[in-house]
Amino acid sequence: GSVLVLNSGSSSLKYQLVNPVGGEAIAKGTIERIGESSGIVTHKFAGNTTRREQPVADHGAALEVALGLFEEIGPRLSEAGIYAVGHRVVQGGELFSGPVIVDDEALEKMESLVPLAPLHNPANIQGIRVARQLLGDVPHVAVFDTAFFQDLPPEAYTYAIDRDVADRYAVRRYGAHGTSHQYVAGKIARVLGRRVQDLNSIVLHLGNGASVSAVKGGVPIETSMGLTPLEGLVMGTRSGDVDPAVVFHLARNAGMSIDEIDDLLNKRSGLKGLAGENDMRELHRMVDEGDPDANLAFSVYVHRIKKYIGAYAALLGRVDVIAFTAGIGENDALTRTAVIDGLEPFGIAIDEDRNEARSDDPRIISPEWTKTLVMVVPTMEELAIARQCVEAVETART
C-alpha cells in the first residue's frame, strides 16, 4: 500500500501519496490560500499538473478537494490502497521523541503543546482532525519535526535562564526540521556505504525555513532552531539569531506589541526584511543588477551559515561530511560556493565543476584532496514521514 502524507499549514495543505518501499511520489498537490476569497489548487499525477482557482473555506474543505482530485484525475485511492496517513507536526515538545499513532490521547497531548507553537500546531491538529473524519478506516500517524532532536545533550538544549521559569514554561531548545536532518544524515551513510555510527556530519537545511544540525554518529548534538523555528540561520522571512534585547528595545522605543514584534521577526525579517525579497533566485538577480540591499542580505545570510559550520565543527571535533539540502541547499551553487569559501585552511573546499553539475541525486561536490566531504543530498521529508508511518504501524501490530 501507499502512504498519504499531509502537511497542514495555517492557510495551506500539502499532500503527497508516497510509495514507502520504492520511495517515489505517486501523486502530490498543494492547496493554498485556504479561507481566502480564492484558493489555489495544484495536483500532480503521472507527469500532468492540474491547476485550479476556487474558494476553499477551511482545512476540511481543502482535504475534500484533494480527495476529489484523486478520484477525478487519479490515482483512485481505493485502487492505490492507502496503508496509513502520515501527518507532519511541528512541535512535539518533550512528549514525543518519535512517530505516534494518533488516538484521542495523542491529540490531547498535541493540544497541550499549542502554547509552544502557536503559529504551527493548531493548523497541524486541525489537519489531523479533518483527515480522521474523512479517512477514518486507516491508521493516522503523527511525525514530529522536533522528535529527532529529543536526543540532544543537555548542554545543547538548555538555555541559560532561570531554571524554575524554564521548567514551568517548558523553555528549552526543541529544534525543528528533524525529519529532514535525520533523513539526510542517514542518507549520507547509505550513499557513502558507511555506517551512520561512524560518521560526523553537519547538515545544512536551506529552504525558506533554514536550520543546521551537527550529527555525531547518527545522534544530533546541536541544532540551530530553538524553542521555536525562529532561532538560528537567516531565513526567507525570519531573522534567526538576534540579541533578545531587540525585543525589549522595540517594545519600548517603537511602541510595538509582542504580537507585532513576533510578526516582524517571523514574517518581515530575514532576506525579505533586508532586501524586500525572500526567494533566493530573485535575490541573485537583484545582486546581479547591483542592488546593494540584496548584496548585503546575501552576505549576512552566508556569514551566519559560516559561523554555524565553524561552531558545529568545534563541537564535532572531526567533520566527515558537510551536506547541503532543501530548496537553496540542493539547487543553489552560488550559495554553496559562498558558504564554503574561506574554509580551505580547515580542509574544506568545493570543486566548482562538481558544484555546478545539475543532478537530483545525492552527490559529492568537494575535490578529491579534502578529508571533509562536501555533499548535496536532496531531502525527502515526505518519504521519511511515510517510512516512519509504516514503522509505527508495524510496531503497533506486533
Ligand X SMILES: Nc1ncnc2c1ncn2[C@@H]1O[C@H](COP(=O)(O)OP(=O)(O)O)[C@@H](O)[C@H]1O
Site for ligand X in 324-343 (CB under 6 A): 326-328, 331-332
Binding mask 297-326 for ligand X (x = CB under 6 A): -----------------------------x
Among a second copy, ligand X, none, the one that 134 touches (CB under a kind-dependent 5 to 8 A) is none
| All cell numbers assigned to 250 | 522595540
Distance in angstroms (rounded) separating the CA atoms of residues 310 and 235:
19
Residue with Cβ nearer a second copy (80 or 300): 300
Q: How far is CA 257 from CA 231, 262, 323, in A?
A: 20, 9, 39
Cα torsion angle, 328, 330, 332, 333, sign: positive
Among a second copy, ligand X, none, the one that 178 touches (CB under a kind-dependent 5 to 8 A) is none
* 92: contact with ligand X by CB under 6 A: no
Among ligand X, a second copy, none, the one that 208 touches (CB under a kind-dependent 5 to 8 A) is ligand X
Q: Report residue 392: phi and psi, to 5°.
A: -65, -40
- Check if 145 is active-site: yes
Query: In angstroms, what is the minimal distance from the CB of 107 to a second copy?
Result: 21
* 273: contact with ligand X by CB under 6 A: no
Residues 164-223, interacting with ligand X (CB under 6 A)? 207-209
* 9: contact with ligand X by CB under 6 A: no
| All cell numbers assigned to 309 | 559550520
Catalytic residue (one of 58, 104, 145, 262): 145
Query: In angstroms, what is the minimal distance from the CB of 3 to a second copy?
Result: 32
Distance in angstroms (rounded) separating the CA atoms of residues 248 and 242:
12
The residues near 358 (Cβ < 8 Å, ≥ 6 apart) are: none
Look at residues 19, 20, 26 and name the one whose alpha carbon lies nearest to residue 43. 26
Instruction: Determine contact, residues 270/240, Cβ cutoff 8 Å.
Output: yes
Among ligand X, a second copy, none, the one that 279 touches (CB under a kind-dependent 5 to 8 A) is ligand X
Q: Report residue 49: phi and psi, to 5°.
A: -115, 125
Residues assigned a catalytic role: 145
Contact residues: ligand X, CB under 6 A: 207-209, 236, 279-281, 326-328, 331-332
